[in-house]
Structure 1
Amino acid sequence: MDLDTVRTFVAAAEAGQFQEAAAELAVTQQAVSKRIAALERALGVRLFTRTPRGAELTIDGQAFLPHARELLRTAERAVASVRTDRRPLRVDVINSRGAATGLMREFHRAHPEIELDVVMLLEIDTAVAAIRSGAIDASFRAVAAPGRPLPEDVEAVRVLDEPLQLLTGPAHALAGARSVTLAELAGHRIWMPGVVPGTEWTAYYDDLVAEFGLTIEATGPNFGSDALLDTIADTPALATFMSERTRLVWPAGHGLRRIPVTGPTPVYPHALLWRRDNPHPGLAALRAHLAGAAGGRDTAGTWMPDWVIPR
């Protein structure tokens, strides 16, 4: 059923005259008559009776009017559901405790008028596909991993370089250190069960291991951050890397230590990805916010893989 004819019917029914309906719709009276006639043929009933005062609804017209109005309301809701200025900005932050979540919380505080949907996708391929299909508007990732270029319609900008810290239990050999160099970490077991093959953070840690001779173990199941903290607290032989902005809370009895890493400081590069032609106004606001909050250019005394996109 053509919505223009339905809209014309409702306008004529509410105005009581085809001439007034034509003026409201900015069409000719003849166009209104033709649309009403086409709708009557499609429905197989007469909708109006001509009178000296204009046009009155028939019994069938009265029965059809509330449904016609509902059809128009449904059409409006359908259009609004896909209009970028009327739906939430959908952003992938990978996990709830990382730096990306913190960045989005800061953005929400600065722009409470922008409605947000926050999602968490593990695989970069899944995130890129969701960006391209419009399922999400943006994703925080470390790009571009070697051999995995982004599609031409996806853009990325580096928004945050996050220093890594060493997390140890109280009995670890390095627990009392005020800082530790990467060279001093050689020979120590760094346990990171969340390092999953094929992810961009695995590519990052593979390069870190290769360049500085570190030992990173991803053995055993990944039961989440709480289980990781329990193990690090109880096992003097194990430590782990923790990003500076990772928000974790552990029992006071764990006695965990967060120790800065230097010589150089490994930093994890966070980038924002989005589809080039995405018109969502909230995306433009997010990009501007992140550009204003980002630090300067690459800093001396830090390390990251050579495949990381420049600022």
Structure 2
Amino acid sequence: MDTEAVRSFVRAAELGQLQQAADELGVTQQAVSKRIATLERRLGRELFIRTARGVELTLDGQAFLPHARSLVIGVDRAVAAIRPGSRALRIDVLGLRSAQAVVLHDYWRAHPGTDLDVVTLRVDDPRVAVAAVQAGDVDASFRSVTDPATLPRDVRMIPAFDSALELLAGPRHPLAGARTLTPSQLRGHRIWVPGIAPGSEWSEFYDRLAGAFALRIDATGPNFGTEVLLDALADSDDLATLVGAGDRYLWPAQYDLRRIPIENPVLAYPLSLILPRTNPHPGLRAVVKHLRALPATPEPAWRPSWATTSRMNAGDRFSTTQ
């Protein structure tokens, strides 16, 4: 099986765009399309559905993706075994529009020579991300384990940065005209966060947030993706959601959606970085240094207690000189 065809499939699946995959792989979009078409003929299955927005995985594509990713990782490991230090720094983020991806993009623009591979494991359970770090499938993961005491001894979790939450609402929402909001002003309003996965870090975050400020967090309904959520907000006079200030979203101009900062206190979603305790990838040192230089979250700020404990634990700090 052509490993470069498999690599093209994996990147196209992760990015949702053939052109973006081609740009990252340093080939033309036509070359990526041909590789994937050859792979589909070899497997006798269609892996993608082509849409106006890019490509989406078929059920066969979804089933093939984790195995294809493992194959690519295995090839990279084989090359690294005989060419130490040659492999790109591979970091897992929750999504390519997330604040973590935006921060990594800023880092890469400041260090354009960096060989950086940003991936999305597409898992909700942080333990799966921890296992990926342990296995060397990724060098680090922007995930949080809400009980740091349960972390295996060979990995550590360090504070990365806070993502200040904003209210995202349509033009007819009662709070749409506000320049800023306080958490108390959100009470009684339906804050829709569909598809919160049980056992995920954000599930515990929203549970604690709702309890701390008596907020109505509605997780009903499946998560059909960002575009469907934005469509619903634009047409509603009562729906709103919470997004990170650093998250990147795009919507048609006629939606007229409003991003409203929340203050007094700032609602800070704490982002952590999970990495090996010993022998981390050499490229991580500069990334951690970049994270430490990010602007601090304005105070007063609210964070869940597990994030405060993690911040106070000096043993979780990653030395930039090790």
TM-score normalised to the size of structure 1? 0.70
| Residues in 1 aligned to 2:239 and 2:171: alpha-carbon distance in whole angstroms | 11
Could you tell me which residue of structure 2 aligns to residue 108 of structure 1? 108
Could you tell me which residue of structure 2 aligns to residue 196 of structure 1? 197
* Residue correspondences, number: 232
Aligned-partner residue type, residue 107 of structure 1: Y
Question: After superposition, where does 1:43-192 map in structure 2 within 5 Å?
Answer: 78=78, 80-81=80-81, 83-121=83-121, 122-123=123-124, 124-141=126-143, 143-146=144-147, 149-192=150-193
Q: How far 1:194 sits from its partner (Å)?
A: 3.9
Aligned-partner residue type, residue 300 of structure 1: E
Q: How far 1:84 sits from its partner (Å)?
A: 4.7
Q: How far 1:237 sits from its partner (Å)?
A: 1.3
| Residues in 1 aligned to 2:83 and 2:204: alpha-carbon distance in whole angstroms | 37
**Is the Cα contact below 8 Å between 1:84 and 1:281 reproduced in 2?**
no
Could you tell me which residue of structure 2 aligns to residue 274 of structure 1? 275
Q: How far 1:147 sits from its partner (Å)?
A: 7.7
> Would the alpha carbon gap of residues 136 and 82 (structure 1) be closer, same or farther in structure 2, given more than 3 Å must change?
farther
Q: Deviations over 1:162-183 (max 9, x none)?
A: 1100011111111111111111
> Would the alpha carbon gap of residues 148 and 256 (structure 1) be closer, same or farther in structure 2, given more than 3 Å must change?
farther
Q: How far 1:118 sits from its partner (Å)?
A: 1.5
Please give the secondary structure, in 1, of the residue aligned with 2:157.
Answer: strand
Aligned-partner residue type, residue 108 of structure 2: H
> Would the alpha carbon gap of residues 83 and 126 (structure 1) be closer, same or farther in structure 2, given more than 3 Å must change?
farther
> Would the alpha carbon gap of residues 238 and 183 (structure 1) be closer, same or farther in structure 2, given more than 3 Å must change?
same
Please give the secondary structure, in 2, of the residue aligned with 1:209.
Answer: helix
Q: Deviations over 1:212-256 (max 9, x none)?
A: 110111111111111101001111111100110110111111111
Aligned-partner residue type, residue 100 of structure 1: Q
Q: Deviations over 1:66-99 (max 9, x none)?
A: xxxxxxxxxxx94644655111111101111111
| Residues in 1 aligned to 2:169 and 2:311: alpha-carbon distance in whole angstroms | 32
Could you tell me which residue of structure 2 aligns to residue 302 of structure 1? 301
Structure 2 residue 233 is matched with structure 1 residue 244: no
Q: How far 1:138 sits from its partner (Å)?
A: 0.2
| Residues in 1 aligned to 2:185 and 2:233: alpha-carbon distance in whole angstroms | 19
**Is the Cα contact below 8 Å between 2:168 and 2:257 reproduced in 1?**
yes
Please give the secondary structure, in 1, of the residue aligned with 2:108.
Answer: helix
> Would the alpha carbon gap of residues 220 and 280 (structure 1) be closer, same or farther in structure 2, given more than 3 Å must change?
same
> Would the alpha carbon gap of residues 285 and 235 (structure 1) be closer, same or farther in structure 2, given more than 3 Å must change?
same
Q: Deviations over 1:14-69 (max 9, x none)?
A: xxxxxxxxxxxxxxxxxxxxxxxxxxxxxxxxxxxxxxxxxxxxxxxxxxxxxxxx
Aligned-partner residue type, residue 101 of structure 1: A
> Would the alpha carbon gap of residues 120 and 79 (structure 1) be closer, same or farther in structure 2, given more than 3 Å must change?
closer
Please give the secondary structure, in 1, of the residue aligned with 2:305.
Answer: coil
For the aligned residue pairs, the C-alpha RMSD in angstroms reads 1.9
Aligned-partner residue type, residue 214 of structure 1: L
Aligned-partner residue type, residue 252 of structure 2: P
Structure 2 residue 223 is matched with structure 1 residue 222: yes
Aligned-partner residue type, residue 134 of structure 1: G
Aligned-partner residue type, residue 301 of structure 1: P
Could you tell me which residue of structure 2 aligns to residue 209 of structure 1? 210
**Is the Cα contact below 8 Å between 2:195 and 2:220 reproduced in 1?**
no
**Is the Cα contact below 8 Å between 2:266 and 2:299 reproduced in 1?**
no
In structure 1, stretches of 5+ residues that fail to align are 1-76
> Would the alpha carbon gap of residues 252 and 299 (structure 1) be closer, same or farther in structure 2, given more than 3 Å must change?
closer
| Residues in 2 aligned to 1:148 and 1:107: alpha-carbon distance in whole angstroms | 30
> Would the alpha carbon gap of residues 277 and 239 (structure 1) be closer, same or farther in structure 2, given more than 3 Å must change?
same
Identity rate, percent: 47
Larger-Rg structure: 1
TM-score normalised to the size of structure 2? 0.68
Q: How far 1:262 sits from its partner (Å)?
A: 1.9
Aligned-partner residue type, residue 137 of structure 1: D
